[in-house]
Structure 1
């Protein structure tokens, strides 16, 4: 009867930032090797295998090595939920003619004890091998049962922690999804506002400027009214893609309103942000979009603000200034960029 490990990955290394980190990050084969060494000492046998169906090749030796021949013998016998003790293999009706009993390495003593998973299904066996005929004492019977229980608990602990790690990953993904705009794949309003606050604090401590800009696609409202939301959504997605190509990987891009995009540029002065905005404007304008087989030129309006011109502004004030600059740009007409500067009458709060 052969089964596989239920819910157990032999190659997985767990990383948990707790006091159990060293134990949990220990590789599966290292754990098994530790149990096998313990089994050798407990039962004074030639070899002890903790097998889940296959141990050949695990030692790294050649197929003619003693250990590999012992492993080959173990692998030739199916996993079994029967507690089996064979004191003399040479006298056994079925195994006496096994090539590793009749020939090298002349195995004589064999024990197999089942290992169960959390669902009470067989997952493996403890195998004891020796070259002398012998009996298993009553005390060794008890030790073997205890030994199997310890291995089962170790496996169960590994599965529990794997499940815990998976839950942590899922929670992180859910948290991330709650901060991502489902259509555009950018940060949503809450996330981009939080990113702005964090980056402003970092730049303030580092004595570096920070800039932000609002971008609004000029034609998006008319295209939505004529062609519907599905097409306008696709155009907005492509606009976001062009914006991403113009900014740095660590710049933050988020959807702040229905069609309004906010970009946070840490370390960018008022001169740098204007250059970036111009790059975005040209990237969008010089790549017409195909709307129902008709090339349509897209343009943007943008409102820009920087902390090097408003050094005392908090995140809320910066957003307000950038929004007012965007309104001024839209009032001036399509394809316009306005930078918020102190003293502008329409930007006085």
Structure 2
């Protein structure tokens, strides 16, 4: 069993098809590069660029390169919402005076096709650049439109994927919220029982023991009557924090009842869980809580049960053993940890 996963608190993942995710998560530069290489091959031009506002930032690492100069020229041409073909830039009324047309690198041919989003809003352009005069016939113009349409579909696909990721994230959060206790941030009762069942199956297959611990603060009912629910809620939150500091990252912690906390310890024997229980007991005892400006000593009782003592126990039975051990701890005067033994009478919850 992997020990680098934190199961002490809620954590869920929703798998996404790895091939699908890999395909759409490629860097934008690589995705645009496919269309640009296709445009160069299809039209036999010096360069094809896909622009979504500014090209220079894409090529700023190629300072003083031809590509960087081409990008700078393309950025100086305002985007248009229809196909634009200029066979000879030197003859153009405005662009003919551009320093990159009149001088180096002497760009001669420019063509641009608009790219729209799903709402028919102009978002970019597919641009062709060459250093000799030329024109696009009807067939080439249709191919140019097809290339722009391919870019539009790619961008729509990317937007759809981003929407899907957001939905997955929202669903993951909703699923997570349904499994956690809103006050303590631990697993809720149904989730911690599910975690126990899964861990018992894993440990059985790996031929490893599993232990669980049920604990509660001994003074909780008295404090609730004396100070109210808000104070006892605060004590529960702090108790959870102390328990987390005493268990391993991959042990699961959940709220099992109003004042009951359940810890699932995969791979732990009865000796280990008893030691953990004593560590928790000492941690709570060493940190009195200030209530109405008065330090109030708190103690905790815990009952433990383990599969090395009860090898054939079902999850519900193992919980029952731990509950009876907790009752024994309370009957013994509180502030202690009791290990369940086969001598205790069976009780199914």
Fold shared by both chains (TM-score > 0.5):
yes
Query: Residues of 1 paired with 2:74 and 2:250: CA distance?
Result: 55
Flag the 1:108–1:176 CA change in 2: closer, same or farther, 3 A: same
Count of residue pairs the alignment pairs up: 333
Flag the 1:190–1:64 CA change in 2: closer, same or farther, 3 A: same
Flag the 1:166–1:333 CA change in 2: closer, same or farther, 3 A: same
* Larger deviation, residues 222-231 vs 74-83: 74-83
| Contact 2:320–2:346 (8 Å) recurs in 1 | no
1:317 Cα deviation from its structure 2 partner: 0.4
Query: Residues of 2 paired with 1:213 and 1:64: CA distance?
Result: 68
**Residue by residue, what CA displacement relative to the aligned partner does 1:297-339 show, whole Å, maximum 9, x if unpaired?**
1111111111111111110100111111112222222212221
Unaligned runs of 5+ in 2: 1-14
Flag the 1:22–1:285 CA change in 2: closer, same or farther, 3 A: closer
Equivalent residue number for residue 10 of structure 1: none
Aligned alpha-carbon RMSD (Å): 1.6
Query: Residues of 1 paired with 2:38 and 2:76: CA distance?
Result: 24
Query: Residues of 1 paired with 2:194 and 2:286: CA distance?
Result: 33
1:234 Cα deviation from its structure 2 partner: 1.0
Query: Within the alignment, does 1:318 sit opposite 2:325 as a pair?
Result: no
Equivalent residue number for residue 82 of structure 1: 82
Equivalent residue number for residue 337 of structure 2: 337
Answer 1 or 2: higher relative contact order, Cα 8 Å, separation at least 6.
Answer: 2
Equivalent residue number for residue 114 of structure 1: 114
TM-score (norm 2): 0.91
1:294 Cα deviation from its structure 2 partner: 0.9
SS at match of 1:167: helix
**Residue by residue, what CA displacement relative to the aligned partner does 1:71-95 show, whole Å, maximum 9, x if unpaired?**
1101122332232111221121111
Query: Within the alignment, does 1:50 sit opposite 2:61 as a pair?
Result: no
Equivalent residue number for residue 155 of structure 1: 155
Query: Residues of 1 paired with 2:159 and 2:32: CA distance?
Result: 15
**Residue by residue, what CA displacement relative to the aligned partner does 1:151-185 show, whole Å, maximum 9, x if unpaired?**
10111111112211221222122111111111001
Flag the 1:22–1:95 CA change in 2: closer, same or farther, 3 A: same
Query: Residues of 2 paired with 1:108 and 1:169: CA distance?
Result: 49
Unaligned runs of 5+ in 1: 1-14
Equivalent residue number for residue 224 of structure 1: 224
Flag the 1:16–1:107 CA change in 2: closer, same or farther, 3 A: farther
Query: Residues of 2 paired with 1:307 and 1:62: CA distance?
Result: 65
**Residue by residue, what CA displacement relative to the aligned partner does 1:32-59 show, whole Å, maximum 9, x if unpaired?**
0010010111111111111111222534
TM-score (norm 1): 0.91
